[in-house]
Amino acid sequence: MIAPIPSPIWQPACARTIAIPEPANLRARGLVASIISISWAPKSSSDNFDFSLDASGILCGTGDYIARVEAYVATSQGSPTDLAVSWCSVVNGLACIFLGGGEPGTTQTVSIEITTQQGRIISQDVLIAIASGVASTPNPVPTLADGTPVPPNAMRDSDASILLDDNGNPLIFA
């Protein structure tokens, strides 16, 4: 597999990008590692923003890179104003998740699974606080006819149609 092509059309916000922490090497010291919680900056319910994870630290020296990202809101209650994942994509080597909505005054958990080109799987939960205010539903995003969300870094043909892979998913600039 060839390395991903950087996205020329859309950039993740560095203010909402966090690194996946490298696990501490405590084994030699006979200590038990604790789970480290990570969190993105808070958002209001009406915000529809990209939030990203950087896995370069834990993939350092491997020659590996992110090939696929999936996410869901583990704390979702089935309400129209729940925090929702509008789309996931790999953008410029980052795992990007676009989030909208969220019940004000709560802290939500977004569960992310990153698959690398060499088959590594990184599972990471990220907390995000929803600021107090009025509850909003997530804004709609462009979708294919079957409802598959189209991320902003999807490749398009000269007639502006979305290019798809063999599984019917949008091809992306990564």
**pLDDT tens, position by position, 80-113:** 889 999 999 999 899 999 999 999 999 999 999 9
Contact 91, 174 (CB under 8 A): yes
Please tell me the predicted confidence (pLDDT) of residue 84. 94
Please tell me the predicted confidence (pLDDT) of residue 1. 45
- Nearest CA to 135 out of 108, 100, 111, 98 is that of 100
Distance, in Å, from the CA atom of 27 to the CA atom of 24, rounded to the nearest integer, reads 9
Q: What is the pLDDT of residues 19-35, one digit of tens each?
A: 998 776 656 566 666 66
Token digits for 78?
A: 């089935």
Please tell me the predicted confidence (pLDDT) of residue 125. 95
Low-confidence ranges of the chain (pLDDT < 70): 1-8, 24-35, 174
What would you report as the CA-atom Rg of the chain, rounded to the nearest whole angstrom? 17
The structure's pTM equals 0.83
Please tell me the predicted confidence (pLDDT) of residue 115. 95
Distance, in Å, from the CA atom of 79 to the CA atom of 82, rounded to the nearest integer, reads 5
Token digits for 29?
A: 């010291």
Give backbone dihedrals phi and psi of 90, rounded to 5 degrees, phi first.
-100, 120
Please tell me the predicted confidence (pLDDT) of residue 107. 95
Please tell me the predicted confidence (pLDDT) of residue 124. 94
- Nearest CA to 37 out of 121, 109, 85 is that of 109
